[in-house]
Chain A
Amino acid sequence: MRINSKGLAKDLGRIVGQEYVFNDAPTNLVYAKDVMPYDLEEHNLPYAVVRPGDSGQVAEVLRYANQREIPVHTHGSGTSLVGLARPKARGIVLDTARFQDIAIYPERGYFEAGAGVHLAKLRKALAPYRALLPVFPGSEPVATIGGAIAVNTSAHAVDSALGKPGDYVLGLEVVLPSGEVIETGTHSLRRPAGVELTKFMVGSEGVFGIITRVRMRLAPLPATTNIVATFSKTEDILAVVMEMYRRGISPPMFFEYLDESSARIGYSAVGLPEPAGAVAIITMHSDNSVGCRDKSERFLEFLKEADPIDAKILGPGLEWDQIWGSRAEAGNYVYRQGSTFGSEVTPRVDKLLDAFIDTKDFILNLESYAGPQFISFGHIGAPTLHGYAFIPTKDIPSQVKKAITLEVRQKSENINIKYGGCGGEWGLTAQRIDFLKARYQPAYYQLLLNLKKALDPTNILNRGNLEGWL
């Protein structure tokens, strides 16, 4: 179907105001581009970018798109690492950036935020209320609360300690693909039991609706204490995690690691001296500082059983900020030195070491590129390990980059299937749909397709995510 971009822009301008519609090539491209290492293709480029100011306008855009069967792609921050951010069919990009409202109600025990609010801004707004924002992606400066809830991503947070962001959501405002606005959930802190659509929409990855507003519980900020431990090899850290769960020790809020290579790169990038091995970076948490100190000292004793090179409690300050930064930005620091192709492996906890060995093995023996290096880091306490194929050059043809991306994706997902995991931070559609199909029964995927058909009969909303298009 041929779309006249000028006519489209004019029509959208009547809905949101002409100053909030763009159809020039540079703007279209900038919104379509994401972190995928391979080039944009024509089918990724939208005809127009529309920036609605409220859910009523979102609804009207969707109704318009439905009538004309024009795909609509939701844009939050554009930082998805599995291709959610890139439009897969030419249409309209709907940018949520104007949804910037933040309302905090300590007397009600909750806050509300527009979908476009960046997490860092939200965390800052919550700070005076000593409230926790239980979402910790590395892309925090720019990731949106709408996107974080749409994916229900844990990122740095250990699920067994903090739960998932969705566990804190009391209700949502959602615009359905057909253009109806619904409210889900409750204004009470007693969350609904039974069939309740909040849970359906949390983690829906833009397939079943557009989240425009989020209501979350004001959870008190815990007291925290940091621990850093260096081990001679990564496998020792994996063994610690496995033993921690085996013994039923209460997991820390953050339990990260950098392998020997990424620790060297990360520490150097932040101006720290070269570490002696792989590094475990841990944040213990408790309701109060006395309990937290006690918990930390006991955890430190537990770590020392694994014979680290060193292990210490580290107070807040520059050194901790640098060490945390070396992990939080590890992906960027490694990418500075060449090209990276990542994976998310989240095995059953007792299979962590086996999964690590398998991941390392397939990356060192890629079919699509000879001789990459293996680098890994991750939220190992969750457990998540990000195994990367690292190639020390940027000069790789786009088609080769695409092939490597897909091979790393497919083989790491095979490991997830083999060891019973399913990921915990990047979502399950887009580039992960093949995993979903392989991991679960055919009826599972068919159910998703049926739900999609029921809610979005013309398949306009984020078309291609459920199909796994690129």
Chain B
Amino acid sequence: MSARQADLKSALLAEVAKCRACRFCVDVCPTYQVSAGVEALSSYGRIQIIKHLLMGVLELDEGLTYALYTCLQCRRCENVCKSKGQNIEICEVIHNARAFLAPNYQKGGGRDS
């Protein structure tokens, strides 16, 4: 892992640690709404997926890729998180997770390095 990757990872872990799993951001997420309520396709779901990927509990597989890259980055979740929840820049976390994982896709690898 490069130094930049390591910094990204550590910054991401600090951000996702803030998530209390209050789930207030679940209902406002468009992908949650159109999937008849699949929690993995909500902002809360994506944050927890990123957290557990970085903790080594989850692997970079199809399900994880789908959850991460279906985020619209629309920031509707942040309205709720900032007003009622933990004030996390949720879309920035998801974006930074994509940046952290990009080398895995570019090299054609499958595992988080």
Chain A in direct contact with chain B (Cβ < 8 angstroms): yes
A-side interface residues toward B, CB under 8 Å? 20, 22, 24-27, 29-31, 33-35, 40, 51, 77-79, 95, 97-98, 100, 116, 118, 120-121, 139, 141-142, 325, 328-329, 332, 335-336, 394
Give the CA-CA distance A139 to B52 in the complex, in Å. Answer: 24
A77 (CB) vs chain B CBs: closest residue: B23
Q: Is the CB of A24 within 8 A of B86?
A: no
Q: Is the CB of A336 within 8 A of B27?
A: no
Per-position binary interface string of chain B over residues 41-64, scored 1 when its CB falls under 8 Å from any chain A CB and 0 otherwise: 000110011001000011101111
B88 (CB) vs chain A CBs: closest residue: A336
> How far is the CB of A132 from the nearest CB of chain B, in Å?
22
Check A97/B44 contact, CB under 8 A, given A24-B62, A25-B61, A141-B24: no
Q: Is the CB of A22 within 8 A of B36?
A: no
Residue of A26, A40, A142, A325 near B24 (CB, 8 A) is: A142
Q: Is the CB of A97 within 8 A of B86?
A: no
Which 8 A-B pairs give the minimum distances between C-beta atoms? A24-B63, A97-B37, A27-B40, A30-B45, A26-B63, A30-B40, A142-B23, A26-B49
Residue of A34, A139, A329, A336 near B18 (CB, 8 A) is: A336
Q: Is the CB of A30 within 8 A of B49?
A: yes
Q: Is the CB of B67 within 8 A of A139?
A: no
Contacts of A35 in B (CB 8 A): 20-22
Contacts of A97 in B (CB 8 A): 36-39
Contacts of B83 in A (CB 8 A): 325, 329
Cβ < 8 Å to A, chain B residues 62-100: 62-64, 67, 80, 83-87
B64 (CB) vs chain A CBs: closest residue: A26
Q: Is the CB of B48 within 8 A of A30?
A: yes
Contacts of B61 in A (CB 8 A): 24-26
B17 (CB) vs chain A CBs: closest residue: A394
Cβ < 8 Å to A, chain B residues 5-38: 17-18, 20-24, 26-27, 36-38
Give the CA-CA distance A78 to B22 in the complex, in Å. Answer: 9
Q: Is the CB of B37 within 8 A of A26?
A: no
Contacts of A26 in B (CB 8 A): 40, 45, 49, 52, 58, 61, 63-64, 67
> How far is the CB of B86 from the nearest CB of chain A, in Å?
6
Which bucket holds chain B's interface residue count?
Answer: 20 to 34
B32 (CB) vs chain A CBs: closest residue: A97
> How far is the CB of A9 from the nearest CB of chain B, in Å?
12
B57 (CB) vs chain A CBs: closest residue: A29
Contacts of B64 in A (CB 8 A): 24-26
Contacts of B63 in A (CB 8 A): 22, 24-27
The binding surface of chain A is classed by DSSP as loop
Give the CA-CA distance A461 to B85 in the complex, in Å. Answer: 31
Q: Is the CB of B59 within 8 A of A25?
A: yes
* 23 CB-based A-B contacts, threshold 8 Å: A20-B36, A24-B40, A24-B62, A25-B63, A26-B40, A27-B38, A27-B40, A29-B49, A31-B40, A33-B48, A77-B23, A79-B22, A98-B36, A100-B37, A116-B37, A118-B27, A120-B27, A121-B27, A328-B84, A329-B85, A332-B22, A336-B86, A394-B18
Give the CA-CA distance A394 to B14 in the complex, in Å. Answer: 9
Contacts of A328 in B (CB 8 A): 84
Q: Is the CB of B40 within 8 A of A22?
A: yes
B49 (CB) vs chain A CBs: closest residue: A26
B85 (CB) vs chain A CBs: closest residue: A332
Q: Is the CB of B44 within 8 A of A30?
A: yes
Contacts of A78 in B (CB 8 A): 21, 23, 39
Q: Is the CB of A335 within 8 A of B20?
A: yes
Contacts of A24 in B (CB 8 A): 40, 61-64
Contacts of B36 in A (CB 8 A): 20, 51, 97-98
Contacts of B86 in A (CB 8 A): 332, 335-336
Q: Is the CB of A25 within 8 A of B58?
A: yes
Give the CA-CA distance A394 to B36 in the complex, in Å. Answer: 34
> How far is the CB of B43 from the nearest CB of chain A, in Å?
11
Contacts of B27 in A (CB 8 A): 118, 120-121, 141-142
Q: Is the CB of A141 within 8 A of B37?
A: no
Q: Is the CB of B39 within 8 A of A31?
A: yes
> How far is the CB of B96 from the nearest CB of chain A, in Å?
18
Give the CA-CA distance A336 to B36 in the complex, in Å. Answer: 31
Contacts of A77 in B (CB 8 A): 23
Give the CA-CA distance A29 to B52 in the complex, in Å. Answer: 9
> How far is the CB of B22 from the nearest CB of chain A, in Å?
6
Contacts of B37 in A (CB 8 A): 51, 95, 97-98, 100, 116
> How far is the CB of A35 from the nearest CB of chain B, in Å?
5
B36 (CB) vs chain A CBs: closest residue: A98
Give the CA-CA distance A20 to B35 in the complex, in Å. Answer: 10
